[in-house]
């Protein structure tokens, strides 16, 4: 059984973007009200008294957009200084990062993942659902700020969508030639976006690898982190390219994570909620953390059978009513 030691913590389900693959326009969004979000104190209690004693040492802060969370820098500092924290990372769309990169780094954050689905401003705005002034330049400024501050590794996540940004794979990969950046291409997933999901909604990673091999060649590589990406390097590049292939190349047997949603629900799998636990309600009702720890331990025992493979077997739902932001991607 794979060791599960990595907790993704969603800080908020709201976002300042509305990306097609995460918060599609047709989805009715029922945001969690602030009083129903886990508080900083509750998050820290769960990490210290429930997850750390179970061997969790790696944590990632997600959303929604985690930089929208009030006091996020203070929470990063608290988590980074826990003696049991070996690795702390954050995923962001970078729109607010220009002003927060240095404070986050000073608070102890060292690893950051940034969503960037296009180098073209018009395509970028189309994907993020923006109809006003372009947000590409401010996002790019946030990425540059993270680079200057010294986040390492600095990972760029690109969801490849046929007909929108699939023609930019080579251009995005080229970012790694003279920068110590790590660009990862992610297969589009059917989460709360049924209207977009069809027979050709994703491009298999192997097709993308073949394109890069034809242009430059690919060499095996590695990068520090806890993700499921298969990692390569363009010959002579400073950075790497990775492929996250959850649709075409199931990696459930390598999964080492569980997800804590912003409303306090612990989910064993992104696309399978069997056995999920409402930790927030239990905490607020005064249930001892030792009992919560036992419940989480039992869920971890079941995790090998609670995974994305159910979808591949045809025994799980093929589309999902919740959006990625509501699950805590």
Q: What is the pLDDT of residue 200?
A: 61
Q: Hey, CA dihedral for 176, 60, 40, 13, is it positive or negative?
A: positive
Query: Rounded to whole angstroms, how far apart are CA atoms 320 and 322?
Result: 6
Q: What is the pLDDT of residue 249?
A: 83
Q: What is the pLDDT of residue 308?
A: 58
Q: What is the pLDDT of residue 199?
A: 59
Q: What is the pLDDT of residue 327?
A: 58
Q: What is the pLDDT of residue 320?
A: 47
Tokens of 233: 């390097």
As a three-state string, the secondary structure of 265-312 is: EEECECCECCCCEEHHHHHHCCCCHHHHHHHHHHHHHHHHHCCCHHHH
* Angstrom distances, CA of residue 51 to CA of 7, 166, 249: 8, 39, 29
Query: Rounded to whole angstroms, how far apart are CA atoms 58 and 256?
Result: 10
Q: Hey, CA dihedral for 50, 54, 59, 64, is it positive or negative?
A: negative
Query: Rounded to whole angstroms, how far apart are CA atoms 58 and 240?
Result: 22
* Angstrom distances, CA of residue 131 to CA of 121, 127, 136, 292: 12, 11, 12, 45
pLDDT at residue 32 greater than cutoff 60: yes
In this predicted model, what pLDDT tens digit does every residue of 70-129 receive, in sequence order? 999 999 999 999 999 999 999 999 999 999 999 999 999 999 999 999 999 999 999 999
Which domains are seen in the chain, by residue range?
6-327 (3.20.20.70)
In this predicted model, what pLDDT tens digit does every residue of 254-276 receive, in sequence order? 889 999 999 999 999 877 777 89
At 325 the three-state DSSP class reads helix
Q: What is the pTM of this model?
A: 0.92
Confidence band for 314, pLDDT divided at 50, 70 and 90: very low
In this predicted model, what pLDDT tens digit does every residue of 202-259 receive, in sequence order? 899 999 999 999 999 999 999 988 678 899 999 999 999 999 988 888 777 788 999 9
Query: How is the chain split among helix, strand and coil, in percent rounded to 5?
Result: 35, 15, 45
Q: Which residues of 284-306 are buried (b: 16+ CB within 10 A; e: fewer)?
A: eeeeebeebbebbeebbeebeeb
In this predicted model, what pLDDT tens digit does every residue of 125-160 receive, in sequence order? 999 999 889 999 999 999 999 999 999 999 999 999
Percent of the chain with pLDDT over 90: 71
DSSP, residue by residue, 193-259: -TTT-STTSS--HHHHHHHHHHHT--EE---SSS---EEEE-TT-SSEEEEE-TTTS--GGG--EEE
């Amino acid at each position: 059984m794979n060791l599960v030691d990595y907790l993704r913590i969603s800080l908020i389900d709201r976002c300042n973007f509305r990306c097609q693959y995460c918060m599609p326009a047709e989805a009715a969004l029922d945001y969690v009200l602030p009083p129903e979000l886990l508080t900083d104190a509750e998050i820290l209690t769960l990490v210290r008294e429930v997850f750390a004693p179970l061997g969790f040492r790696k944590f990632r802060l997600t959303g929604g957009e985690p930089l929208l969370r009030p006091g996020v820098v203070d929470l990063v500092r608290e988590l980074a200084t826990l003696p049991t924290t070996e690795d702390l990372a954050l995923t962001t769309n970078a729109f607010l990062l220009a002003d927060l990169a240095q404070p986050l780094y000073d608070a102890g954050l060292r690893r950051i993942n940034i969503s960037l689905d296009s180098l073209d401003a018009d395509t970028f705005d189309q994907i993020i659902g923006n109809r006003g002034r372009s947000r590409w330049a401010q996002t790019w400024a946030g990425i540059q700020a993270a680079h200057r501050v010294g986040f390492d590794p600095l990972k760029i996540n690109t969801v490849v969508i046929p007909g929108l940004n699939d023609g930019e794979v080579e251009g995005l990969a080229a970012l790694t030639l003279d920068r110590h950046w790590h660009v990862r291409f992610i297969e589009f997933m059917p989460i709360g976006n049924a209207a977009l999901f069809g027979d050709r909604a994703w491009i298999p990673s192997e097709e993308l690898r073949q394109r890069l091999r034809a242009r430059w060649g690919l060499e095996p590589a590695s990068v520090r982190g806890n993700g499921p990406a298969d990692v390569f390097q363009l010959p002579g590049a400073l950075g790497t390219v990775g492929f996250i292939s959850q649709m075409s190349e199931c990696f459930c047997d390598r999964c080492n994570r569980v997800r804590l949603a912003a409303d306090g629900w612990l989910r064993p799998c992104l696309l399978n909620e069997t056995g999920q636990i409402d930790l927030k309600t239990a905490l607020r009702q005064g249930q001892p953390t030792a009992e919560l720890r036992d419940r989480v331990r039992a869920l971890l025992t079941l995790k090998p059978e609670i995974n994305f493979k159910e979808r591949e077997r045809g025994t799980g739902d093929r589309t999902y009513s919740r959006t990625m932001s509501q699950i805590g991607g």
